[in-house]
Chain A
Amino acid sequence: MRTDPWKSVTAVLAAFLIAACGGGDAGGEAEGEGEGEDTAAAQVDPATVGTISGVVNFAGTPPAPTAIDMSEEAACASAYPDGAMSQEVLVQNGRLGSVFVRLTGVSGAPAAAGNVTLDQENCRYDPHVLGVQTNQPLVITNSDDLLHNINTTPTENRGFNISQPRAGMESTQRFQFPEVMIPVRCDVHGWMHAYIGVVEHPYFATSGADGTFTIANVPAGDYTIEAWHEEYGTMTANVSVTAQGTAEVAFDYSADMAGAHVPLGEPLVIRHGEHGIEVERSTRTAGAGR
């Protein structure tokens, strides 16, 4: 046994290491590596498409919003000098906001144009309810300089649970399959919730605070349109779109449609039942595409 062969073994090893370090990449990153590029929108011929303009009405007295105790996160609590209020039921002048509407039964839709953004600001998700097309980039940003995690629990898609500890961080994710709705939560701030609707076509919208919504560039034809609300469930309507015309549709929710109103994310009594811990707290709502 002489030492000489060990020199050649060492030289081979060194060459291998240098090649590996120089040429290697960190391949196989998690799905959703950000590109931030717009995918090309299919050309839309204005002569063949119309618009859907809708409103979501709300009858009856809505439950009063409950206060969210943000005292554990001083930086966020200070953004709400009058106290932060829950967002599940937003009723103004008889109209219901944060209702997700989409056309059903549509095939052969163009690919998505652009990105959708979900921001975290002052310990809230903005927007609270949003839609994204299958494989469309969802850019998640953090405007708070503190830790949020974005924990999604879909049933049809692969979920993710990522952290963003600093302001300015950005992560791009995609969902491959249609799913209405995917719950999103932050585990560090238990009151933070959002819902993402993944649709295979671009014909969806979320009603604003004034209860109205618009879906543009819809090819002429007859459709079913479905509305979803986290407390009051789903309902459908029919709509006919004419080329270069505007179709009107209205949904009528009412206060007696919900189950017991449970403020999301606020822990209630935690009981020790016979099967372990039972928590009376709702993290999901009745109905709506689980």
Chain B
Amino acid sequence: MATIVAEATGQAILHEEHGQSFLRKYIFSTDHKVIAIQFLFTTLFFLMIGGLLAMLMRYQIAWPDRTLPGGGILPETMVSSGYILPEFYNSLVTMHGSIMVFFAIMPMLVGVYANYLIPLQIGARDMAFPRLNMISFWLMVPAGLMTLASFFVIGGAAAAGWTLYAPLSGRPDLSGVHLGQQLWLMSLVVLGLSSILGSVNYITTVINMRAPGMTWFRMPLTVWALFITAILALLAMPVLSAAGIMLLFDQTIGTSFFLPEAGGQPLLWQHLFWFFGHPEVYILILPAMGFTSEIIAAGSRKPIFGYKAMVWAIVAIAFLGFIVWGHHMFQSGMNPTLGLSFTISTLLIAVPSAIKTFNWMGTMWRGNLQLHTPMLFAIGFVAMFAIGGLSGIFMASTPVDIYIHDTYFIVAHIHYVLFGGSLFALFGAIYYWYPKMFGRMMNETLGKVHFWLTLVFFNLVFFPMHGLGMVGMMRRIYDATGYQHLQGIEDTNQLITWAAFGLYASGFLFAFNFFWSLWKGRKAEANPWSATTLEWQTPSPPKHGNWKEIPVVYHGPHEFSHPDVTDKDWLAQNERPDVTSPAHTGPAPQPE
């Protein structure tokens, strides 16, 4: 059944390409590879914007007594007499978080790589629903325009934190933000739809369109991660959309879901938001874990250590991810008994993450490590994510969380997992799959420089924040210098800001490499990394329809350095073997 569907769609795709206009081929394309690249350009742009907002914030934190150079180009409602205003600072904080999570990291992990890799890695010609896929991308455009526009309306952009706690977010008279918050909520609802449609596509494709021989446990870990992520998104995003609509109603048509004067509950917002928000952060990390597994196996020339354990760890993280949301609310005023139950589930979820970390190390152990740029970023992921995960244990313990909640300790944790984790893995993924996407290699020397600069600056920015949290520096603070318990933090904040500028600048080195290589990069062969998964067994870039003939799969995804394969150290998944080890790769597929 699955193969018939796959072939039917495939034939349709192969026949439709002839005589398409530029507009249909590259702008309103239904080809998953084109859509993925559209997502890539869009998300890189938003990554740059989100970073710019952070630079403005860091300037303010480091030098609260100084005017902003060039601030005069901004309107008086943002920068007055050269000083960033507190209400604008709150918007910067809010929109930095929101844009990074919803317009940069999540769509880069999913919109780019789920789209690009799933059909190629499972041996399909395209997604199950190519037109739905196209709609999913184009929904991001109005969402992005609304978000950017929200800066320029009266009252400015949303300013209640990316977490939008009510009643501050629902009361324009208390926050000063009117239309900006509403635009952001509408943007979120549209993005939610984009994400839900995408999830439907990814789940259906993985279930129905795997090539012959591609059993569940022969799928690359990237596909497993993206598949489970899609299920998380399908279940979690509607909750955010619903909550967002309820908040919009509170602001516009006089409902009181979250406003206490007429019987609403501010805590309801928090429960709804975090019920979405915690699975969301696992959406943000699981694909990154998938890429890391892929790249580390290929870079170590070894199979992944404990493939099945890795799969079950992904499933465990996803499942447990739905029952830990209250750890964001330990100090919120909810019933303290819930503090106990959420502590237990939160500590439990550290276990599968630990398993994965040890398995990545086990993969590197006794490997033949090829330390190219993607591998450096993947190893960097493991090293940085470990720190982020370990810092999470402090806040999982409710009594310790009493002290560190809403301090920079949390900011450190967030950024170690989201930047040190997700973004490092994304950089690795971009360098790794760039040759497949564009048919050229990115410059390896520039890539290594980018990696080392990023690693050093990143740690200089975020590691000291653990210390700032320990001394009690609160989050989202426009100017912390007036607090008695925070005397003496100026030096640290200035160091962090200088390092942040360096970190942002390193991003431009990456951008230069990315764009320059489109024209001048060394032409790439089909399999520059000598990797085993199916996407490397077709030209770089693949033709429309991906394969001349749908491949047949004989092996697991990471058959590197098999002792019986003597002419090379890798065995492609679709390579008809002379020797195969049935204990690891399963029996050969039966003819259909």
Contact = CB atoms under 8 A, between A and B. Distances in A.
Q: Do chains A and B touch in the complex (CB under 8 A)?
A: yes
A169 B77 contact: no
A29 B25 contact: no
A7 B516 CA distance: 10
Interface residues of B, number: 42
Interface string A1-12: 111011101100
Interface stretch (B320-328, B485-493, B540-548): B540-548
A2 B75 contact: no
A1 B542 contact: yes
A194 B228 CA distance: 59
B257 to A, nearest CB: 17
B85 A163 contact: yes
A171 B26 contact: no
Interface string A251-271: 000000000000000000000
Contacts of A17: 45
Interface residues of A, number: 33
B34 interface: yes
Interface string B173-187: 100100000000000
The A interface, classified by DSSP as helix, strand, loop or mixed, is: loop
B22 A26 contact: no
Given A3-B439, A168-B81, A28 B22 contact: no
Interface string B509-549: 00000010011000000000000000000000111100000
A114 interface: no
Nearest to A187: B174
A166 B81 contact: yes
B22 A162 contact: no
B220 interface: no
A29 B87 CA distance: 14
B260 A276 contact: yes
8 contacts: A1-B31, A1-B544, A5-B25, A9-B26, A26-B73, A28-B154, A159-B173, A170-B81
Given A26-B75, A29-B76, A5 B518 contact: no
Given A6-B37, A276-B261, A161 B176 contact: yes
Interface of A: 1-3, 5-7, 9-10, 13, 17, 26-31, 33-34, 147, 153, 159-166, 168-171, 276
Q: Which of A1, A28, A29, A164 has the most chain B CB within a 10 Å cutoff?
A: A1
A3 to B, nearest CB: 5
Contacts of B154: 28, 30-31
Given A6-B518, A27-B152, A30-B154, A169 B74 contact: no
A165 B478 CA distance: 10
Contact of B34 (A1, A161, A162, A276): A1
A169 B81 contact: yes
A34 B76 contact: yes
Q: Which of B22, B81, B438 has the most chain A CB within a 10 Å cutoff?
A: B81
A91 B33 CA distance: 80
Contact of A147 (B73, B86, B440, B541): B86
A28 B75 CA distance: 9
Contacts of A159: 173
A7 B518 contact: yes
Nearest to B545: A1
Contact of A33 (B76, B439, B518): B76
A9 to B, nearest CB: 6
Interface in B12-36: 22, 25-26, 31, 33-34
B83 interface: yes
A33 B80 CA distance: 11
A6 B86 contact: no
B74 A165 contact: no
B86 A165 contact: yes
A170 B173 CA distance: 22
B22 A5 contact: yes
Contacts of A13: 41
A234 to B, nearest CB: 27
Contacts of A6: 37, 438, 518
B392 interface: no
A243 B74 CA distance: 50
B123 interface: no
